[in-house]
Amino acid sequence: MDYRDLIHAQVVTKPTQEKIVSALHDLGKDADRITIATDYDREGELIGVEALRIAEEANPGIKADRVKFSAITKKEILDSFESPGEVDFDLASSGEARQVVDLIWGAALTRFISITAGRLGKGFLSVGRVQSPTLALIVDREKEIEAFKPQPYWEIYADLEKDLRVKHEKGRFWDGDVARSTFEGLGEVALVVSIKEKTRTDRPPAPFDTTAFISAASGIGFSAANAMRIAEWLYTSGFISYPRTENTVYPSSLDLSALVSTFKKGPFREDAERVLKGPMKPTRGKRFSTDHPPIYPTASATKKDMKGDQWKIYELVVRRFLATLSGPSRWIVMNVKLEIGDEPFRAMGARQIEAGWRACYPYSKAAEQILPELAEGEKLSVLGKELVDKETQPPSRYGQGRLVKLMDELGLGTKSTRHEIISKLYARAYVHGNPMKPTNTAYAVIEALERHSPTITKPEMTRALEEGMTKIAEQRLDEKAVVEESRSMLDSVFDDLLRHQGEIETSLREGLRTDKIVGTCPSCGKELIIRRGRRGSRFIGCTGYPDCTNTLPLPKFGMIIVTDKTCEEHGMNHIRIINKGKRPWDLGCPKCNFDQWQAKKAEEAKKKAEVDLLAKIPGIGPKTLEKLGAAGVKTALDLVGAEAEELAEKTGLAKKKISSWQIAAKTLAEEASGC
């Protein structure tokens, strides 16, 4: 099949849940009305419309209505069913357009890249209209880091009496000679020139939308996908509102006082009472929409009601909610200017005078810096001086929370899909770690696309398609027009890709090969590389084969990622194994891992041999073995080292017999060890 055939192929929808389809058919035959109560967003509306279409096949005259709720609570559900609305077919068409566009782009581009790279089967290389621009952000940031050239600079500090440390007002000295001459010319007395105080106010945070929630969850150690998975569970269990939202303004219909009052009993009692005593004016973010409110708690709970990670996410949502209803945090900020000789120095202090929202939201920390009592004109002895040489640092890699924010800003993906895109990057072995580091395969894919078809790697393309989908929901475009426009764009992309397919193949295959190199062979000095056997087994082998047969085994399952961490003893790169739905397994150095496995296997064999020796002693049968095992004697050596009298009391066996068995056990053990 030609790649372009996939671009223009007819999209056929085939149900996978036959039992659900059958149930909808059967129920639809006799029903007068069907009520759609799926999640109210593009994806949810599409699911509802698909269910409606199935029911209509059995009963073309069936009526339909739509209920919308953002929390699985009795009141919200009853209220929504009392005033149902109409099904939003335009919103569903928008969701369907996204499905079709993503399928077309993903199928055609993934097939091209995978076949060109020779990477088929489970380890295929995927490309997508959102995935690829997102991966490009990570690769481009890594290039910035690699190209970064650190610049040296110097800072000057002085330690004064009263336990006061001050810094030269200039901050960074870019000229080392100037820094050293300034440092050497400092006197022994510091003069307090001025003291200025002012009040600083920290506003409470805005309510959680999906992006802010994922970012905050990332800050306490949760991946984007795991945070959303737990949030979905909390929602369906009735503990929080719908977690997929772009709204940062609480609706006027939400009774905030009543909701806070539900937390007066339980672990958030003190915080809830503090909030209720205040003005309780909610903060407002920059985004407002009418589909769903911000994420907020809908019911009080305790740690006993859920698992550990579920509680952490629930607590985060509760504390954010309470923080948005709290007063500001207030600080006294002190700016002290000093002079040591003719050189200006400065000390900054901050003291919290009102905790405000920070009392219930410990995730955003701001440390106090308390200065001693000082007076203008006061002189302080210089107890020590320090000239510190430093270097500028490269830009940092993207953590998952930060990447989700950037995707949001650039219009890449939606609130419902961004965490899934990041998960795909890990699953395809394009990135590893958090913050995310791209693999050589990721480099090869993005560099090939940026060089020969940059449209795929730029956010402008996917943003334009997203705007088209929004226009479908707003009745300004129809679904067919948006899909055909995407096909036309993809045709142009393939004009470039097919023209440079040979160059792309060379680039991809080299990147894939580099990602398989684990280290240098200790036997012949050539490369150790990940290989696959004839029957599908995987191992590390030497490129010097058949002259060198040095090999190491690898696990049968999971995506193998060669990290940049190196074993000091063997000089081999550490390996990470990714299995879908499971935590990554850091296997570490393959040689160390193999040696540990062999040692463990030898120890197990030794223990088994000792157990077998115990069973060979005349007079020890299965029942006696059971009694000895219950008393802690499981091997011949255990028996030799036991106190006969004590063992007799524990087992009810004769001391004389035990003593004779000990002599026999010692003899067998010596024979087995070759003594």
CA dihedral 454, 458, 460, 465 (to 10 degrees): 90
The residue among 368, 435, 449, 362 whose CA lies nearest residue 402 is 435
Which residue out of 235, 242, 296, 398 is catalytically annotated? 242
For 278, which DSSP code? S
Supply angle C-alpha 26, 30, 35, rounded to 5. Answer: 85
Q: Distance (Å, rounded) from C-alpha 636 to C-alpha 609?
A: 9
Contacts for 424-428 with beta carbons within 8 Å, 24 or more apart? 424/126, 424/128, 424/131, 425/131, 425/134, 425/135, 425/138, 426/578, 426/584, 427/559, 427/578, 427/580, 428/125, 428/126, 428/559
Amino acid in the structure at residue 224: A
Q: 519 - beta bridge partners? A: 528
Q: Distance (Å, rounded) from C-alpha 343 to C-alpha 122?
A: 66
Q: Distance (Å, rounded) from C-alpha 588 to C-alpha 518?
A: 11
Q: Distance (Å, rounded) from C-alpha 369 to C-alpha 200?
A: 14
Maximum Cα–Cα distance across the chain: 98
Q: Do residues 566 and 573 make contact, with C-beta atoms less than 8 angstroms apart?
A: yes
The residue among 235, 278, 236, 237 whose CA lies nearest residue 256 is 278
CB-neighbour burial class of residue 339 (10 A; exposed 0-12, middle 13-18, buried 19+) = middle
Amino acid in the structure at residue 509: R
For residue 116, give Cα distances in angstroms to 122, 124, 474: 16, 11, 40
3-state secondary structure 405-435: HHHHHHCCCCCCCHHHHHHHHHHCCCEECCC
CB-neighbour burial class of residue 401 (10 A; exposed 0-12, middle 13-18, buried 19+) = buried
Handedness of CA 391, 137, 117, 503 (dihedral sign): negative
Residue positions counted in the chain: 675
Annotation says 157 is catalytic: no
For residue 622, give Cα distances in angstroms to 616, 644, 668: 11, 20, 19
Joined together, the tokens standing for residue 281 give 């004016």
Amino acid in the structure at residue 253: S
CA 236 and chain centroid, separation: 22
Supply angle C-alpha 405, 410, 412, rounded to 5. Answer: 85
Q: Distance (Å, rounded) from C-alpha 592 to C-alpha 598?
A: 10
Q: Distance (Å, rounded) from C-alpha 123 to C-alpha 102?
A: 20
Any idea which residues carry the catalytic annotation? 242
